[in-house]
Amino acid sequence: MISLKTPKEIAQMREGGVILARILGKVALEAKPGVTTKELDSLTKKLILKSGAETAFLDYHEFPGVVCTAINEEGVHVPPSKRELEEGDILTLDMGLKWKGWYLDMARTIPIGKISKEKSQLISATKEALELGIKQAKPGNRLGDIGHAVQTYLEDRDYGVVRELCGHGIGKELHELPKVLNYGKAHTDKKIQEGLVICIEPMVTVGDWKLELAKDGQSYNTKDGSLFCHFEDTIAITKKGPLVLTR
């Protein structure tokens, strides 16, 4: 069942989204060569609790951290570790929190120092794909319009669009219906209604789009070892169109 939120509930989620966006911004500033992803996880937890919010990812399906920290070819659900960031890496910070009973979720892929042109273009393309998907998230459109916008933009530029994982509804639960695919046909799937709150999250590869489960049993990495990029925002559908809550 798809849950629709009232304007008051969306306003509460917006409060949490602003908090989350600020936290991610602070953590991103500390992501430098020589810093471990475990250190970034500790900082994220400290900032979330200091804000008065609750962690969303810790112990969710036994996940051991508060932020997912993927580097280069690593994909999603990557636990923080003692691995040190290196100059030229790209790092995906995927984090969430719970505020007044509502979940918020977002992700950004960021450069560590000076990165290659290939990596820079991948980040720019994924970011633009997210923006195009968000523009389609308005009353009267369908979920397929979001996926179609994301897929066509990326595939026209020869990037892979991950199929195994997707965006989702969000609210009192971290993952709710509906599924929000990053691919699809325009004017298909469920109609987008006012009050719907969803996470749109393009997951993009330089090579083949297929992922595989890593040895840790939690992470998903690109099957061919190619670069991976991930952007995500939580978006509420209002009468006037999409309202990005996590900025």
State the pLDDT at residue 218.
87
State the pLDDT at residue 217.
85
State the pLDDT at residue 91.
98
Does the pLDDT value for residue 215 go beyond 90?
no
Three-state secondary-structure class, residue 25: helix
The angle, 0 to 180 degrees and rounded to 10, between the axes of the packed helices 117-135 and 143-155 is 160
pTM value is: 0.96
- Which tens digits make up the pLDDT trace of 126-153? 999 999 999 999 999 999 999 999 999 9
Three-state secondary-structure class, residue 91: strand
How far apart CA 84 and CA 87 sit, in angstroms, is: 10
Query: Averaged over 35-48, what is the pLDDT?
Result: 98
Q: How many CB atoms lie within 10 A of CB 216?
A: 11
Q: Could you confirm whether domain 7-244 is CATH 3.90.230.10?
A: yes
Give the model's confidence band at 216: pLDDT under 50 very low, under 70 low, under 90 confident, else very high: confident
Assess contact for 231 and 108: CB atoms under 8 A.
yes
With CA atoms as reference, report the closest residue to 233 among 14, 1, 4, 5: 14
Query: Averaged over 174-178, what is the pLDDT?
Result: 98
- Which tens digits make up the pLDDT trace of 51-74? 999 999 999 999 999 999 999 999
Domain ranges for the chain, please list them: 7-244
Q: How many residues are given for the chain? A: 247
